[in-house]
């Protein structure tokens, strides 16, 4: 059996690189990582001084999946002690002192953390759903596509891919300046690639943290006579996992769920009438962290909406389940909301003759390091982490792979033919290039809670009340 770096050994190398470069622990997309049990209660000597396992294995996710990604404060890791339980870490040297005195030990730490172990990186993939695809066959007819969060990461890459194929792309971003910047970036990328055609790009403002902004966006699209072949709910945000202050949208919703779920929920209500009947599609960018049984979803606070009692209290909820605010859980909950929303939307579309034939699907793009999400990090750390995760340890994906996932969800005929599915690929699938789509990247099962149709219906009802529709 071919041996690949285990997820645990991979994060050891990455955490050491973070210490080497003076960066904070990595923020990652798709899943988080944890130390082996044997390391959690001991202290290692690395970089010339004692470093607690919580520092070496600091691995809290804190990202947008992979969208309109302006961070809200510094992003970083929360060691196990910060999450409750366990003794505080022993005193450590500063990174500067460590760098000056322990380079030889560091090399050994990096080498030892990259011990190879059998098995698939990241553990077993979710069970494949019935009707999985093999290969791809893209639509060639010109499509009119709207993408939220199209100014960075996979949203920008997908917009560039679609424009290169001659499709019309509406770039819906948090501000008009960001949307115009995205249009300029797409045009520049196409010029640099030698393309001769002039892409048709429409920049629009759509701030999902403001229902008034969402409403104004759709009213503008309606007045322009827009109809869409595909709408992609891709934008989102994640707070620093150590954040304790509840930030809110204009309507008073908790910011993470308010933006990632309720903003898109309201947008969908307004824009669905503009999606072509019989042939249109809705694509939702989700994440594997919605599933507590996934490698990332199992770390830290796990996703669960409980009895939805938080949403039932009204717009000033702190958490969907009514609990105390937890930034890590809020993000994971929002991704669970995304999956439940996609499934319930498909059910409602199928039950309504006026919307029948529109396919709704969700997907996870995987762990994507090389995006604007790391712009507040030490640049040396960012480059090292990106190289290690994506090129060396093969547990990360490239922004291009994520953009290709979204492009596949929009254009592939087999995806457009059947809705109600969730697409996933095992970590490191970008190494297969374009061949991954429809092969490694294919339908998979969602979490147990995401399969709860009654909860999906209740979430829809409460969401409707909150956005007043």
Number of domains the chain is built from: 2
Q: Could you tell me if 318 and 458 lie in one domain?
A: yes
- Contact call for residues 455 and 144 (beta carbons, < 8 A): no
Within-domain flag for 157 = yes
Residue 356 neighbours by CB distance under 10 Å: 11
- Contact call for residues 341 and 264 (beta carbons, < 8 A): yes
Q: Could you tell me if 58 and 166 lie in one domain?
A: no
CA pair distance 2, 284, nearest whole angstrom? 34
Q: Could you tell me if 72 and 9 lie in one domain?
A: yes
Output the DSSP codes for 256-305: HHIIIIIIHHHHHHHHGGGBPTTT-EEEEE--GGG-TTSTTTTSSSPP--
Q: Could you tell me if 151 and 114 lie in one domain?
A: no
Q: Could you tell me if 113 and 148 lie in one domain?
A: no
Within-domain flag for 410 = yes
pTM beyond 0.95: the answer is: no
Indicate the length of the chain as a whole number.
469
Structural domain for 89, as ranges = 3-118
Q: Could you tell me if 419 and 313 lie in one domain?
A: yes
Within-domain flag for 125 = no
CA pair distance 145, 200, nearest whole angstrom? 11
Within-domain flag for 136 = no
Residue by residue, pLDDT tens for the chain (469 residues) are 444 444 444 444 444 444 333 333 333 333 333 333 333 333 333 223 332 323 222 333 333 333 444 333 333 333 333 334 444 444 433 333 333 333 333 333 333 332 222 222 333 445 444 444 457 899 999 999 999 999 999 999 999 999 999 999 999 999 999 999 999 999 999 999 987 778 999 999 999 999 999 999 999 999 999 999 999 999 999 898 889 999 999 999 999 999 999 999 999 999 999 999 999 999 999 999 999 999 889 989 999 999 999 999 999 999 999 999 999 999 999 999 999 999 999 999 999 998 989 999 999 998 776 544 333 344 565 566 556 655 565 666 788 999 999 999 999 999 999 999 999 998 889 889 999 999 999 999 999 999 999 999 999 999 999 999 9
**Residue 211 class from Cβ within 10 Å (0-12 exposed, 13-18 middle, 19+ buried)?**
buried
Within-domain flag for 102 = yes
- Contact call for residues 450 and 421 (beta carbons, < 8 A): no
- CATH value at residue 275: 3.40.50.720
Within-domain flag for 299 = yes
Q: Could you tell me if 38 and 168 lie in one domain?
A: no
Q: Could you tell me if 164 and 75 lie in one domain?
A: no
Q: Could you tell me if 413 and 311 lie in one domain?
A: yes
187's tokens: 């045009």
């Amino acid at each position: 059996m071919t041996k690949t770096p285990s997820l645990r050994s991979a994060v050891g190398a990455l955490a050491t690189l973070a210490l080497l470069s003076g960066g904070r622990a990595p923020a990652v997309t798709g899943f988080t990582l944890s130390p082996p049990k044997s390391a959690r209660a001991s202290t290692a000597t690395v970089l010339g001084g004692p470093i607690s396992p919580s520092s070496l294995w600091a691995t809290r996710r804190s990202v947008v999946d992979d969208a309109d990604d302006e961070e809200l404060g510094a992003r970083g890791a929360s060691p196990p002690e910060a999450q409750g339980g366990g003794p505080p870490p022993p005193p450590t040297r500063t990174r500067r002192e460590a760098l000056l005195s322990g380079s030889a030990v560091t090399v050994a730490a990096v080498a030892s953390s990259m011990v190879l172990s059998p098995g698939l990186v990241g553990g077993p993939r979710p069970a494949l759903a019935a009707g999985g695809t093999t290969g791809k066959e893209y639509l060639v007819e010109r499509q009119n596509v709207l993408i939220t969060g199209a100014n960075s990461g996979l949203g920008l890459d997908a917009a560039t891919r679609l424009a290169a194929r001659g499709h019309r792309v509406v770039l819906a971003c948090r501000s008009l300046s960001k949307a115009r910047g995205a249009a300029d970036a797409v045009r520049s990328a196409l010029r640099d690639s030698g393309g001769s055609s002039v892409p048709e790009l429409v920049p629009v403002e759509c701030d999902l943290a403001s229902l008034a902004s969402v409403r104004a966006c759709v009213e503008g699209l309606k007045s322009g006579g827009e109809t869409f072949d595909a709408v992609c709910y891709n934008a989102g945000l994640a707070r620093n996992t150590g954040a304790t202050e509840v930030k809110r949208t204009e309507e008073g919703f908790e910011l993470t769920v308010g933006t990632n779920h309720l903003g898109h929920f309201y947008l969908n209500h307004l824009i669905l009438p503009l999606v072509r009947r019989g042939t249109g599609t809705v694509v939702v960018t989700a994440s594997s962290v919605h599933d507590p049984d996934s490698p990332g979803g199992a770390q830290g606070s796990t996703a669960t909406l409980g009895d939805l009692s938080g949403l039932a209290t009204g717009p000033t909820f702190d958490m969907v389940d009514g609990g105390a605010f937890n930034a890590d859980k809020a993000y994971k909950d929002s991704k669970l909301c995304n999956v439940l929303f996609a499934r319930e939307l498909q059910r409602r579309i199928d039950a309504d003759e006026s919307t029948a034939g529109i396919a709704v699907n969700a997907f996870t793009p995987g762990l994507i390091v090389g995006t604007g999400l790391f712009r507040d990090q030490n640049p040396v750390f960012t480059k090292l982490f990106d190289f290690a995760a994506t090129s060396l340890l093969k547990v990360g994906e490239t922004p291009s792979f994520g953009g290709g996932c979204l492009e596949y969800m929009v254009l592939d005929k087999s995806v457009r033919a059947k809705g109600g599915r969730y697409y996933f690929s095992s970590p490191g699938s970008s190494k297969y290039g374009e061949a991954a789509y429809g092969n490694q990247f294919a339908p998979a099962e969602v979490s147990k809670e995401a399969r709860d149709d009654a909860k999906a219906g209740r979430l829809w009802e409460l969401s409707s009340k909150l956005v007043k529709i």
